[in-house]
Chain A
Amino acid sequence: MTKEVVQLDQVIIRFAGDSGDGMQLTGDQFTSRTAEFGNDLSTLPDFPAEIRAPAGTLPGVSAFQLHFADHEIMTPGDSPNVLVAMNPAALKANIKDLPRGADLILNTDEFTSRNLAKVGYDTNPLDDGSLDSFRVHPIALTSLTVEALKDFDLGKKEAERAKNMFALGMLSWLYHRPTEATIEFLGNKFGRTPEILAANIAAFEAGWSYGETTEEFSVQYEIRPARMKPGRYRNISGNVALSYGLIAASERAGIPLYLGSYPITPASEILHELSKHKNFGVMTFQAEDEIAGIGAALGASYGGMIGVTTTSGPGVALKSETIGLAVALELPLVIVDVQRGGPSTGLPTKTEQADLLQAMFGRNGEAPVPIVAPCSPADCFNAAIEAVRIATTYRTPVFLLSDGYLANGSEPWQIPSIESLPDLTVQFASEPNHTNDDGSMDFWPFIRDPETLARPWAVPGTPGLEHRIGGIEKADGSGNISYDAANHDKMVRLRQAKIDGIDVPDVVVDDPSGDARVLLLGWGSTFGPIGAAVRRVRSEGLPVAEAHLRHLNPFPKNLGEVLKGYDKVVIPEMNLGQLALLIRGKYLVDAIPYNQVRGLPFKAEELAGVIKDVIASV
């Protein structure tokens, strides 16, 4: 039976189910096939902090949203066109995000009176008319899966567990996704248990055939590959891209990478990823706590490695004292903060940008630390390289501020050539640098490079350069303990001047018409939503300019001029106005903050509304 094929330019699908239903895996596989097919895409996994909340409850709902299109897209999408809900909880938790007319694929087997009651449905939404404004596809996913697997020697529970593969097969048919690689993936995952493997493949194929034959779906959809810049592509998530960026930086510097870390959501995946790549000389150490993680990384930096520590906001709080020590010692160190909702434990699995001021100021004394922020999942690769460049060139700890959305989200990435990556060769100190009064040569650890103000990186094992450093204030030059007032004043200013003088590229303004009077200024993961919103506003003929900051400390040198060129500056952030505070303080610009802290990225439509209101007010 051949069904009509309808061309679409984009689709947003959300898979939602219980934490144990395998929604993240289903979403990942659908994403991989979509990438392989050549669509542009953007993903948003959204899962609870609990590993397995009680089955069928609202707190246990785990979701994965995928936006894919035949053109360039910037966000995982505001509202899904399609919701796959594996139970009533998944429906209830997600239905408010769906526009009228969206497709609802509901697993009817789970819509039992008990499950409905568990989430507070008095009547069954399948037949009470509450879903009349949607296109509902009631499908008995569980029993269809069990039926498809009846010839396998599996218990009912085991057979039921393959229902996500049935759903994946069905969706793969519906959206014309390739299937070979999914089957290959299952082979790798379940290869050691042939019966389970065969069952999963059978469920996947049964789902595909069901889509083809059922009258539930009258049409099949096709989303043509996107026109992207020529080159080789892969799909990549932020945490993986960040890990690869660190490895690439180590290779380009010719210095081994050392990670000292303590597991924390949503940063642990970087520890896992780097631990797999010891064949690049990458050293990873799971420490006893956050403080030991950064301590060991600093010890490794002192020994001439690229010391890195990875964490999230609560971990940064614990590491603050050691970051201050690294500022005082003037040693390279990269602190990766994959931000999550705060304060305290906050929302471990949700995204936020509220650690900017912690990174900027969260230490005792005058302790400036450069801050670099990636703007998309793939951009984590470049941002990691940039963080290492600054750390090693200027002998300073550097913050790399990712967030939960970038960490877990993914997008196609044009794979760069190794030669195109910056050369990060480091010059270690090898000779004495100071002549004593008696003419003898000595090594002074705090004589600075006149250009960068960086001090020499003299690693233990280098003869003749034995020296002592510490957290106590040091005399300019010799590095000996000094409590001298004038010296302290000088050293504080020198450390600040070193960071202020870091060479960072100018911020680029995107203003195609040149007529804009309103500037959107963002940083970090708001890049996608801001870009999508700006595009919408421009499509209505309204001019608006956009600039995105990769460097939060120091700011690009041209930023002040850029800001003064616009009547209004709007700063959307997933916090209560942290960048806006810095911009107002430094440039005396009356920036307009727009803030949300909902644990999710901005919606482009909402942002577009905000922009239009500001334009109207000019």
Chain B
Amino acid sequence: MSEAVDLGFPSLRLVPKTEAPQTAKDFKTDQEVRWCPGCGDYAILAGVQSFMPELGLKKENIVWISGIGCSSRFPYYMNTYGMHSIHGRAPAIASGLAMTRPDLSVWVVTGDGDALSIGGNHLMHALRRNVNLKILLFNNRIYGLTKGQYSPTSEFGKVTKSTPLGSLDYPFNPVSFALGAEASFVARTIDSDRKHLTETLRAAALHEGTALVEIYQNCNIFNDGAWDPLKDSDHRDSLTFRLEHGKPITLVDGSRGVYRAEDGTLQIADVDEVGRRSLLIHDAHAADPSVAFGLSRLSDPLSLANTPIGVFRDVKRATYDEMFQAQLHKAQEGGRGDLAALIAGKDTWEIAP
């Protein structure tokens, strides 16, 4: 629908660029933000609004689509086009929009319940198709909008209103899920770390195809402190692996690192013990997702020890929307169809007056 513009963001090359400089304020709406005071969503919203001008896109060519849940109110607060849809279905709706409108930058906001419970099927298929969507999954390990039931990412045994004796569900690891679903881009970041959040959003925006960004987000009402060990300045550096392409994988404090054991599994050991040269070098562009998957399994869902943060996987694969449009163009190379010829078909007869 519009001229192609090279933005330096290959995934957005068909989206028209703005001429006027933008600021975060341009992306704010006049609607009162109605999340609970202290909710992690505020930090993510501010982070996204600050990042958006960097894309340099015309605001009218940006669309935010969400499902249902606290996080899904997000589109109302972004001064772009937006749709607050129904529970779990945002990836399906966004797919229909993105594949028909290559001139749009389409973003999906979802939560752990929306994306992984009711909408698991759509998320899985969006990821494998590699539609040009950026999916932000706010993971707070609880159902907030329905007031505090356990979610598919809640830790085993979680006591909530619906599980007074503890939840019996083994939790999903969204990164493992996405890698298993053939995702071409998977990353994880934290609501309170603005710098890392922005870096991760940038990487996702640069990626051609579906990008899944899991954002650890705090629900201070129903699951306060769920990610505290990863935020608390006393502990976080000894609990978090910071994944950076081309660099050895170590905890932020450098004490321990990841290496490949003889049985092929990824193991963690003191760097001094195994030696720096034995450490695994992070390759986000590796075609084979098995190392990325191995990395996603390092963290302990209860204590959060050994949690990797950053881009797990970022590989090039033909995008669905691009191939979809290519088929359309190819079919019309020989000229557009002739409606009269189509409806008549090849086998007609004439009744004379």
Question: Do A288 and B101 contact each other (CB < 8 Å), given the known contacts A278-B331, A415-B348?
Answer: no
Bound-complex Cα distance A460 to B101 (A): 9
Stretch at the interface among A56-64, A140-148, A209-217, A225-233: A225-233
Chain B positions within 8 Å of A, measured between CB atoms, are 1-2, 16, 29, 31, 58-63, 65, 68, 75-76, 78-86, 89, 92-101, 103-104, 121-122, 124-125, 324, 327-328, 331-332, 334-337, 339-340, 342-345, 347-353
Residue of A nearest to B100 (CB): A300
Residues of A521-565 at the interface with B, using a CB-CB cut-off of 8 Å, are none
Q: How far is the CB of B85 from chain A (nearest CB, A)?
A: 6
Bound-complex Cα distance A242 to B59 (A): 39
19 pairs across A/B with beta carbons < 8 Å?
A36-B347, A230-B351, A231-B351, A233-B349, A234-B344, A236-B345, A258-B96, A279-B334, A280-B337, A283-B99, A296-B96, A303-B97, A415-B343, A466-B79, A467-B82, A468-B76, A470-B75, A471-B68, A471-B85
B83, A468: Cβ atoms closer than 8 Å? yes
Bound-complex Cα distance A325 to B335 (A): 37
A247 / chain B contacts, CB cutoff of 8 Å? 337, 339, 342
B84 / chain A contacts, CB cutoff of 8 Å? 468-472
B125 / chain A contacts, CB cutoff of 8 Å? 287-288, 292
Mask of A469-494 contacts with B, CB within 8 angstroms, 1/0: 11110000000110000000000000
Partner of A233, one of B78, B100, B351: B351
Bound-complex Cα distance A321 to B89 (A): 10
Question: Do A303 and B342 contact each other (CB < 8 Å), given the known contacts A296-B96, A470-B84?
Answer: no
B328, A281: Cβ atoms closer than 8 Å? yes
A418, B340: Cβ atoms closer than 8 Å? yes
Bound-complex Cα distance A470 to B86 (A): 8
B342 / chain A contacts, CB cutoff of 8 Å? 244, 247, 277, 280
Interface residue SS majority, chain A: mixed
A300, B350: Cβ atoms closer than 8 Å? no
Mask of A319-333 contacts with B, CB within 8 angstroms, 1/0: 001101100010000
Bound-complex Cα distance A39 to B76 (A): 61
Count how many chain A residues have C-beta atoms less than 8 Å from C-beta atoms of the other chain.
69
A298 interface residue (CB < 8 Å to B): yes
Residue of A nearest to B103 (CB): A461
Q: How far is the CB of A549 from chain B (nearest CB, A)?
A: 26
Interface residue SS majority, chain B: mixed
Q: How far is the CB of A541 from chain B (nearest CB, A)?
A: 31
B96, A467: Cβ atoms closer than 8 Å? no
Question: Do A467 and B349 contact each other (CB < 8 Å), given the known contacts A244-B342, A303-B100, A461-B61?
Answer: no
A291 interface residue (CB < 8 Å to B): yes
Question: Do A32 and B92 contact each other (CB < 8 Å), given the known contacts A230-B353, A281-B336, A288-B125?
Answer: no
Q: How far is the CB of B325 from chain A (nearest CB, A)?
A: 9
Bound-complex Cα distance A304 to B327 (A): 20
Q: How far is the CB of A29 from chain B (nearest CB, A)?
A: 11
A465 interface residue (CB < 8 Å to B): yes
Q: How far is the CB of B111 from chain A (nearest CB, A)?
A: 16
B94, A299: Cβ atoms closer than 8 Å? yes
Q: How far is the CB of A601 from chain B (nearest CB, A)?
A: 25
A283, B324: Cβ atoms closer than 8 Å? yes
B29, A468: Cβ atoms closer than 8 Å? yes
A460, B347: Cβ atoms closer than 8 Å? no
Q: How far is the CB of A418 from chain B (nearest CB, A)?
A: 5
A481, B327: Cβ atoms closer than 8 Å? no
A299, B349: Cβ atoms closer than 8 Å? no
Partner of B93, one of A231, A302, A468: A302
A256 interface residue (CB < 8 Å to B): yes
B351 / chain A contacts, CB cutoff of 8 Å? 38, 228-233
Chain A positions within 8 Å of B, measured between CB atoms, are 32, 35-36, 38, 181, 228-236, 244, 247-248, 251, 256, 258, 260, 277-281, 283, 285, 287-289, 291-292, 295-300, 302-305, 307, 321-322, 324-325, 329, 381, 415-418, 460-472, 480-481
Bound-complex Cα distance A462 to B81 (A): 9
A329 / chain B contacts, CB cutoff of 8 Å? 83
Question: Do A298 and B121 contact each other (CB < 8 Å), given the known contacts A280-B336, A461-B1?
Answer: no
Q: How far is the CB of A534 from chain B (nearest CB, A)?
A: 25
Q: How far is the CB of B126 from chain A (nearest CB, A)?
A: 9
Q: How far is the CB of B15 from chain A (nearest CB, A)?
A: 9
Question: Do A280 and B339 contact each other (CB < 8 Å), given the known contacts A230-B351, A287-B92?
Answer: yes
Bound-complex Cα distance A298 to B347 (A): 36
- Give me 18 other A-B pairs in contact (C-beta within 8 A), A244-B342, A462-B60 excluded: A181-B347, A229-B351, A235-B347, A251-B339, A256-B100, A258-B100, A280-B337, A281-B332, A281-B336, A292-B95, A292-B125, A296-B92, A296-B96, A461-B1, A463-B60, A464-B60, A468-B31, A469-B83
Residue of B nearest to A185 (CB): B347
Residue of B nearest to A294 (CB): B92
A470, B83: Cβ atoms closer than 8 Å? yes
B86 / chain A contacts, CB cutoff of 8 Å? 321-322, 324-325, 471
B331, A279: Cβ atoms closer than 8 Å? yes
Q: How far is the CB of A452 from chain B (nearest CB, A)?
A: 23
Bound-complex Cα distance A584 to B179 (A): 57
B75 / chain A contacts, CB cutoff of 8 Å? 468, 470
Of the listed residues A300, A322, A472, the one surrounded by the most CB atoms of chain B closer than 10 A to its CB is A300
B61, A35: Cβ atoms closer than 8 Å? no
Partner of A470, one of B76, B334, B352, B353: B76
B62 / chain A contacts, CB cutoff of 8 Å? 460
B83, A291: Cβ atoms closer than 8 Å? no
A296, B93: Cβ atoms closer than 8 Å? yes
Partner of A466, one of B60, B89, B334, B344: B60
Of the listed residues B93, B94, B104, B122, the one surrounded by the most CB atoms of chain A closer than 10 A to its CB is B93
Partner of B2, one of A248, A277, A280, A461: A461
A418 / chain B contacts, CB cutoff of 8 Å? 339-340
Bound-complex Cα distance A324 to B76 (A): 20
Residue of A nearest to B29 (CB): A468
Q: How far is the CB of A346 from chain B (nearest CB, A)?
A: 24
A-B interface, 4 closest residue pairs, ranked by CB to CB distance from nearest = A470-B84, A299-B96, A296-B96, A295-B92
A325 / chain B contacts, CB cutoff of 8 Å? 85-86
Residue of B nearest to A227 (CB): B351
B350 / chain A contacts, CB cutoff of 8 Å? 231-233
